[in-house]
Amino acid sequence: MKTIGKGYVHIYTGNGKGKTSAALGLALRAAGRGLKTHIVQFMKAQHYGELDGVKMTRGLITIEQHGHPSFCRFTETPDPKDVKRALTALARMHELMQARACVILIADEIITACLFRLLTEDDVLKVIGNKPEGMELVLTGRGATERMIEAADLVTEMQEIKHYYAKGVDAREGIES
């Protein structure tokens, strides 16, 4: 497997569109250089276009979904089934890191899983702390905490300035889904 040197921790956060898209863009760029990426999606189990798109990368990008088919909704007390799905995804992250199964590991919506109380801030910090040398780790989701930001090497905040959702435009196939 090709290597990238030290490997860094990225966080893509904020209330704007583009966090998952940025992570997928990095995965696509890496695939173009022959690097293997594994994406673990927290809270997602719907059929998105990227699931079909990664098939074109000849196995260089893998996506696993660990969520409710209709996405989970924020509630004061989370559904225990959603918590279990998030903990399963978290265990899978640790497994992939231990096995060094990829050069880039993306935890899509792991930060949102904390915001929804499916995981704790300490769970995410443990993922960051367990990142092996030579692996790039990317965490996405709204609501990155100060401790997460401090632990990361690169943090990008997507800020919504204007969005057509506000005018009632639904998610469009191939653009948002």
Residues 36-67 have pLDDT tens digits of: 999 999 998 888 888 888 888 999 999 999 98
Question: How does residue 20 score in pLDDT terms, banded at 50, 70 and 90?
Answer: very high
100: region left, alpha or beta (phi > 0 left; psi from -120 to 50 alpha): left
pLDDT > 90: percent of the chain:
72
> Would you state the pLDDT for residue 70?
73
Q: What is the 3-state secondary structure (H, E, C) of the chain?
A: CCCCCCCCEEEEECCCCCHHHHHHHHHHHHHHCCCCEEEEEECCCCCCHHHHHHHHHCCCEEEEEECCCCCCCCCCCCCHHHHHHHHHHHHHHHHHHHHCCCCEEEEECHHHHHHCCCCCHHHHHHHHHCCCCCCEEEEECCCCCHHHHHHCCEEEECCCCCCHHHHCCCCCCCCCC
Cα 147 to Cα 117: distance, rounded to the nearest angstrom: 16
Tell me the per-residue pLDDT of 88-125, one tens digit each, with 9 for 90 and over: 999 999 999 999 999 999 999 999 999 999 999 999 99
Residue boundaries of the structural domains of the chain: 9-159
Instruction: Look up the pTM and report it.
Output: 0.92
At 170, give phi and psi (nearest 5°).
-75, 165
In CATH, the architecture of 9-159 is 3-Layer(aba) Sandwich (3.40)
Q: Which residues pair with 138 in a beta bridge?
A: 10, 106
